[in-house]
Amino acid sequence: MGKLGITEILLILLVVILLFGGRKIPELMKGIGQGLKEFKKASRVTPEEEQKE
């Protein structure tokens, strides 16, 4: 228990497709990608900030 197998992943994907529809999924993935990109950008420490610490 606790590990996701192929069956569970496929079931989750099926539910997502049913809930959001096929057209909304690319928009959702784009939003997630942009959010991760901004998070990585914000989490980087610049050399100037590092010297202040």
Q: Which pLDDT score is estimated for 42?
A: 81
> Is the distance from CB of 28 to CB of 36 less than 8 angstroms?
no
Question: Per residue in 1-50, pLDDT tens?
Answer: 678 899 998 999 888 888 888 788 788 889 989 999 988 888 886 666 66
Write out the DSSP string of 8-50: HHHHHHHHHHHHH-TTHHHHHHHHHHHHHHHHHHHHPPPHHHH
Q: Which pLDDT score is estimated for 51?
A: 65
Q: Which pLDDT score is estimated for 41?
A: 85
Q: Which pLDDT score is estimated for 11?
A: 93
Tokens standing for residue 31: 């939003």
Q: Which pLDDT score is estimated for 23?
A: 82
